[in-house]
Amino acid sequence: MATLSDRWLVRAGEHEVNRPYGTVVLATVGMVLGLGLAACAQDASRTAGARASHNVREPVPPTLSPADGTESEAIATYRAMWADAEAAARTADPKHPRLDNHAEQKALWLLQYMMEHARKAGVTIEGTVVVDPMVVKSGKDKVELRDCIDGSKWVQVKPGGSSGGSSDGLSGGRRRAEARVVRAAADKWKVSDLYLEDVGTCIK
């Protein structure tokens, strides 16, 4: 069975995703409470503690920060882009109306190229692309993602329903993918850059 063809490994532009290799150091701060030496000091401490106990508030559930919301939208957009690609691939239509729903610029061009390549080869593509993106860099209007996509269940189908052959002999292999998701017109998020590496460039 064929997977994402190596001939689709077109780098659409010269964009390079920044990779954060910094180390985050968590500092733990300890608080030492001194014990009073005199009985009167102990009594005063108990009184203060009793008063303070009345002012303790119930814990407030964590809320989604603006950054978390931005990253969630970017990931949802990336996943939706692949769902659009799956829909277009069933007919190998480079002009499928869903292709630009969640992709633009170089990412859209790459998806259209993939559909055009399949159409010229006389095949359609059935199944799904398994994705599991992670955020590597985040900003107010731009989020960069890294993924290890599995195209083994996204297979070429020849006329008559037979599966196409794999051009690389590595069906089931995973590919490293990088994407940039940006806030586009009308406050809508879209994938603007999409890079696919060779089979075997990542291990999940």
CATH, residue 106: 3.10.450.50
Amino acid at 197: E
Asked if the structure places residue 124 within a domain, the reply is yes
pTM over 0.85: no
Confidence at residue 186, expressed as pLDDT on a 0 to 100 scale: 86
Confidence at residue 160, expressed as pLDDT on a 0 to 100 scale: 76
Range of the domain at 92: 6-13+65-199
Asked if the structure places residue 106 within a domain, the reply is yes
Neighbours of 67 (CB within 10 A): 13
Nearest alpha carbon to residue 74 among 181, 186, 188: 181
Confidence at residue 68, expressed as pLDDT on a 0 to 100 scale: 72
Confidence at residue 80, expressed as pLDDT on a 0 to 100 scale: 98
Confidence at residue 20, expressed as pLDDT on a 0 to 100 scale: 37
Asked if the structure places residue 125 within a domain, the reply is yes
Rg, the chain, Cα only: 26
Asked if the structure places residue 21 within a domain, the reply is no
Asked if the structure places residue 28 within a domain, the reply is no
Confidence at residue 40, expressed as pLDDT on a 0 to 100 scale: 38
Asked if the structure places residue 44 within a domain, the reply is no
Asked if the structure places residue 45 within a domain, the reply is no
Confidence at residue 7, expressed as pLDDT on a 0 to 100 scale: 41
Strand 189-199's sheet: what is its strand order?
134-138, 142-150, 174-183, 189-199
Asked if the structure places residue 81 within a domain, the reply is yes
- Name the domain count of the chain: 1
Q: Mean pLDDT, consecutive 10-residue segments, the chain of 204 residues?
A: 46 42 28 31 49 49 59 97 97 97 98 95 92 96 96 87 47 83 93 94 83
Instruction: Say which DSSP state 143 is in.
Output: E
